[in-house]
Structure 1
Amino acid sequence: MKKSPILVVLIASLFGCNTTTESNQAVANQDVKSKIVQRDLNSIATDYVKLVLQVGQFDGDIVDAYYGPEELKPDDLEQGAAFPADELSATVEILIREIKELADDAIPTDQQARREMLEKQLIAIKTKVNMLAGKEYSFDQEANLLYDAAPPKFELEYFDALLAQLNGLLPGEGALSQRYVDFTSQFEIPKDKIDIVFKTAIAEARKRTLAKISLPENENFLLEYVTDKAWSGYNYYQGNAQSLIQINIDFPIYITRAIDLAAHEGYPGHHVYNALLEQKLVKENQWIEFSVYQLFSPQSLIAEGSANYGIDVAFPGESRLNYEKEVLFPLAGLDVSKADLYYQVHELIGKLTYAGNEAARQYLNGMITRDEAAEIMQKYQLYSQEKAYQRTRFIDKYRSYVINYNLGKDLVAEYVTSNGGTANNVDTRWQVFEELLSNPKTASMIAK
């Protein structure tokens, strides 16, 4: 005879037992906790998005991309509206306190990293609010608060040894800077070849990336060429796996930049990073904080670092040089006979990028003038005078953001390698790289 559900409950009550096993009850309790915490995290995350969008009304560079609900956008500012520093500071302080008060043991494992990153993003927007209100930070304080990283320091003399190596490599006589200009001018992409070279490089980077990483079927990008910018390339992510990639053609573009920008701005760089965050964290997980890209934040160190490291992931070792010599050099009408030497020079120039950080540190800390900062970059990065002053414009606009390119790349490389993604383990390298792009990560989180 079947017992009725009511009778089962009565019997269980009489004998002091449960109809649900202890393990099932534990799962049920965890589900309840998850829903409660997720609601709390989502509420804080929603207020974070609103806050970033509001602050972004007073600095057009803060919101790099937004593809969340329209109703979270603030009303248009009244003309001449004052920056509400006290109101915004109070709001962010409350959010930081609330997220700190969430009990660790009540947060599901898969949301611990989410909580940690969101707290660091809140610290960054708090810092930006303070800066807009007039507070000044040193280069290192700013880098730590905005990007969750401690930039290394180098004496400028450190770079003299690298210049000595370049001096031995570059042919000719006279000043090193002029010999560098003369030598690299042989590898400039002719203006009428820029479009075909870039489109070919992006297509190859895309093919290599899609062979290892699954992206939304509708993913795509629009390529534009622009002038009068402080940067060489930019990806404006549009949402729904779409990007606008712009290339600045103010200055000569050398053949190495084709692969660099194709991978950095496109595949497996910014376009892929944003598409994966949108697909996995916004659409699948419903983590709304990732619907807004706050430029001056820890997210940018991972974004820029992975975009630079992604060049080596997609074009490892000799495969890059071989592809460029076989495809891009002929396409641009360039002589390949000196390509090997050119890449030796290119590698050394890459190691000089930290000299630019030192110029930025001293300039922003008020230790040197703009002219002196430009002189440092002319000497240690072999920039032309015009290019050096363009770079000071970048520093004026983006400040300590400069650390995200080189320090970011080094931290990402170390993370991928330490997790088994070595150069001779290609599949694992791609897997760890994709995992990095698809999850909440900051500099201190990947250094653990």
Structure 2
Amino acid sequence: MLDRIAEAYARLVLSTGLHDDSYVDAWVGPAEWRTQPEALDLTELQQRSATLLAELEVRPLSGLPEAEQQRQAYLHKHLIALHAHLRRLQGERFRFDEESRLLYDAVCPPLSAADFDPVLTELAQLLPGDGPLHVRAREWLSGFDIPREKLDAVFTVAMDAARERTRPYIALPEGESCKLGYVQDKVWGGYNWYLGQGHSLVEVNTDFPMPLARAIDLACHEAYPGHHVQSSLIELELVQQRGWMEYAAFPLYSPLSCLAEGAANYGILLAFPGDSRIQFEREVLCPLAGLPADDLPRYHRVLTLLDRLSYVDNWVARDWQDGLLDADGARARLQQYRVSDEARAAQRFRFIEKNGSYVINYNLGLDLVAAWVERQAGADLSLRWQALSRMLHRPLTASMMV
């Protein structure tokens, strides 16, 4: 029964993609399913997803092996998300927290200016000058921007290093590969297009000057041990070897995204732990990019504080979606509290407009993954890698991590 529901779910995801071309982020199932999905109207899709949900909800969990219980719980959360997205496509609008609960199985804690003002104070003390904080930050950080002509060399070396640091802990599929491409005019900074059979294209958006730190961040997040590794393992082990078709579809607006974004961000901390990141940038990336390395510790103190402002995206997105903030107010808040210039704040708001509560997956997803891994492994780096590997081999939804 579970296999039948899983196959029906996967086919419904593909049919939904006919109504939303951004919905199916990747497909690793039978090619003919993707090329010839059943054309159904939104009402029929919603009815079928509701029927599958009802069938699954009356299937008892008690007495099933733990792995089967976990599989059913995962499929249940993804059917809930599919049904909710179909409601959105028919014009229904959710409040931010309800949307994130339905689509991503997670809800961000309440947020206010009081959560971020102390961070701005610390940043003001670290950055030279007397003007607006976002201007001072941009001027100082620009000293660590990678020259455009050095971009590909720096990113290639960073990705190779991320791969070599991942391989001792996670067995990569034979013959896997990840290629780099450079694009413009996107709402995102980087994107992994998983092509199947262990191959990915990672695109880097070059709309703005590229900070040195983004080389390692994107190499790990989009490739090793991030999205490329996640997708390769799911395809090989869960779809090809087990035949679990619910994993063949990677719907963008689904609980899988909370794990995927959170684990991809957490992987950065494992691949380049502690001072090893600064050491690698000082010894390898800075000389390659022609950048000074003397002030790298301060650079990373500033970046750590800026990372603590990531939840500003959730705060802005929630208030905008819930009607408490208009578009101008949202962009202004992003500029002030994300310490962004006007153009970057506008780009981030375009991402929020397009993707809504998806923003929680980067920060709340990271915190959920980190807490789960560190409950399993404590402070031991090798054990943390093992725990992350288990999670990538058998993905969990947010409520399953708690």
Match of 2:5 in 1: 44
- The question of 1:185 aligning with 2:147 is answered no
Match of 2:271 in 1: 314
CA distance in structure 2 between the partners assigned to 1:321 and 1:163 by the alignment: 24
* Deviation of the 1:286 alpha carbon: 1.2
Q: Deviations over 1:353-394 (max 9, x none)?
A: 111211111111121111111111110111110111111111
CA distance in structure 1 between the partners assigned to 2:37 and 2:106 by the alignment: 34
Match of 1:125 in 2: 82
| 1:358-377 matches, cutoff 5 A | 358-377=315-334
* Deviation of the 1:420 alpha carbon: 1.4
Name the TM-score, length of structure 2 as normaliser.
Answer: 0.98
Q: Which amino acid aligns with 1:109?
A: E
| 1:23-102 matches, cutoff 5 A | 40-73=1-34, 75=36, 84-102=41-59
* Deviation of the 1:332 alpha carbon: 0.6
Query: Which residue of 367, 382, 386 maps to 1:427?
Result: 382
Q: Deviations over 1:312-343 (max 9, x none)?
A: 01111111111111111111101111111111
Change (3 A) 1:118 1:418: same
Name the TM-score, length of structure 1 as normaliser.
Answer: 0.88
8 Å contact 2:262–2:366 — kept in the other structure?
Answer: yes
Q: Point out the more displaced range, 272-281 or 302-311.
A: 272-281
Q: Which amino acid aligns with 1:57?
A: L
CA distance in structure 1 between the partners assigned to 2:168 and 2:37 by the alignment: 44
Match of 2:352 in 1: 395
Aligned residue pairs: how many?
402
8 Å contact 2:11–2:37 — kept in the other structure?
Answer: no
Q: Which amino acid aligns with 1:92?
A: S
Match of 1:231 in 2: 188
Which gives a bigger RCO, structure 1 or 2 (Cα 8 Å, sep 6+)?
A: 2
Structure 1: which 5+ runs fail to align?
A: 1-39
Match of 1:156 in 2: 113
Match of 1:201 in 2: 158
8 Å contact 2:27–2:34 — kept in the other structure?
Answer: no
CA distance in structure 1 between the partners assigned to 2:147 and 2:270 by the alignment: 28
* Deviation of the 1:76 alpha carbon: 6.9
Change (3 A) 1:256 1:388: same
CA distance in structure 2 between the partners assigned to 1:313 and 1:289 by the alignment: 29
Greater C-alpha radius of gyration? 1
CA distance in structure 1 between the partners assigned to 2:197 and 2:164 by the alignment: 20
8 Å contact 1:236–1:245 — kept in the other structure?
Answer: yes
Match of 2:285 in 1: 328
CA distance in structure 2 between the partners assigned to 1:123 and 1:98 by the alignment: 12
8 Å contact 1:49–1:72 — kept in the other structure?
Answer: no
8 Å contact 2:28–2:239 — kept in the other structure?
Answer: no
Match of 1:247 in 2: 204
Aligned Cα RMSD in Å? 1.3
- The question of 1:141 aligning with 2:98 is answered yes
CA distance in structure 1 between the partners assigned to 2:60 and 2:244 by the alignment: 19
CA distance in structure 2 between the partners assigned to 1:227 and 1:281 by the alignment: 34
CA distance in structure 1 between the partners assigned to 2:116 and 2:382 by the alignment: 35
Structure 2: which 5+ runs fail to align?
A: none
Match of 2:371 in 1: 414
- The question of 1:302 aligning with 2:259 is answered yes
8 Å contact 1:55–1:62 — kept in the other structure?
Answer: yes
Match of 1:22 in 2: none
Q: Which amino acid aligns with 2:159?
A: I
CA distance in structure 2 between the partners assigned to 1:214 and 1:313 by the alignment: 16
CA distance in structure 2 between the partners assigned to 1:142 and 1:50 by the alignment: 23
8 Å contact 1:50–1:74 — kept in the other structure?
Answer: no
* Deviation of the 1:153 alpha carbon: 1.6
8 Å contact 1:66–1:292 — kept in the other structure?
Answer: yes
